[in-house]
Amino acid sequence: MLSKCPECGKSYPSHHGKICKVCASKKNTTAQVENKPITNQEVKKVEEKSIEKVENKTKEKTFKTKICLHCQYENVPTDVFCVSCKKMLVISGNQKIQDYPLSNIKNVIPDHVNKLKKIGIDSTLKLLDKGCTPIKRKTLLIKTGISESLLMRLINISDLLRIDTLEPENAFLLENIGINSIKLLEKKTTPELLSLINKNKDLLKAKNIFVLPSENQINKWIEEAKSIEKLVS
């Protein structure tokens, strides 16, 4: 005699039980899995997956926002200055970001300073904010009429001046021995820079540069150049 299985709706010999053998087998398998004790290894895997999910969410948030160390405002990754408190966004809270009037840059052309002031750029950090990427620089070139090479010089010097204790006179010295950007500075060693300074002492004197940095000072510049947030691209 045949019966209709209430689980799958198929006909089966009624003496097999209340449901067909196929459905009964599936139920038994599920029950075995549910009753199977969880091993320590399986618990560890679940914990690791949970931790990984949390870490991924944290990384995703860090990537999508740039937290201001001064006011905790969440800025977008492309921001250089905090939208809320207007202070510069940096990776490390220990970095002392320097800012100078553009007129403090050695050998800067006054006319260029005036052209930049007319569009609201009167300091080194403001220049970095508006000219740190190729697209931004293109806008500056159109608005000011300053040549690309001279504008790039001002931007690179402004970038160097972010380094603590590296003042405009020091940036001028480095520029005259061929180190005109943070990218070049971080690639040098202290002995290499000292050697370059000694080789160019006559040139530096001709440029009215008489005060030379100490070995310890140069070492600090190089270390900070390696760790400071890179802006100019």
pLDDT in tens, 137-183: 999 999 989 999 999 999 999 999 988 888 899 999 999 999 999 99
Q: Apex CA 126: angle with CA 114 and CA 160, to 5°?
A: 100
Residues in the chain: 233
Measured CA to CA, the distance from residue 74 to residue 88 in angstroms comes to 13
pLDDT computed for residue 210 by the predictor: 85
Q: State the pLDDT at residue 78.
A: 63
Q: The tokens 């802006």 sit on which residue? A: 231
- Predicted pLDDT at 230: 81
Backbone torsions φ then ψ of 207, nearest 5 degrees: -95, 10
* pLDDT at res. 191: 92
- Say whether pLDDT at 19 is over 50: yes
Write out the two tokens for 150.
């001279």
Binning the chain into helix, strand and coil, the percentages to the nearest 5 are 55, 5, 40
User: What's the pLDDT band for 112 if we cut at 50, 70, 90?
Assistant: very high
pLDDT at 13: 72
Given a cut of 70, is residue 131 above it in pLDDT? yes
pLDDT recorded at residue 84: 77
Q: Which helix (H) or strand (E) holds 134?
A: helix 134-144
Average pLDDT over residues 7-13: 71
Residue 155's pLDDT is what?
Answer: 93
Q: What number is the average pLDDT over the span 98-110?
A: 88
3-state secondary structure 4-33: ECCCCCCEEEHHHCCCCHHHHHHHHHHHHH
Q: Could you identify the residue written with the tokens 């201001």?
A: 68
94 — pLDDT class (breaks 50, 70, 90): very low
Q: Is 175 helix (H, G, I), strand (E, B) or coil?
A: helix
Predicted local confidence at residue 43, as pLDDT: 52
Give the whole-angstrom CA distance, residue 87 versus residue 68: 8
Strand duo 11-13 + 2-4: pairing? antiparallel
- Quote the CA–CA distance of 34 and 194 in Å, as a whole number: 72
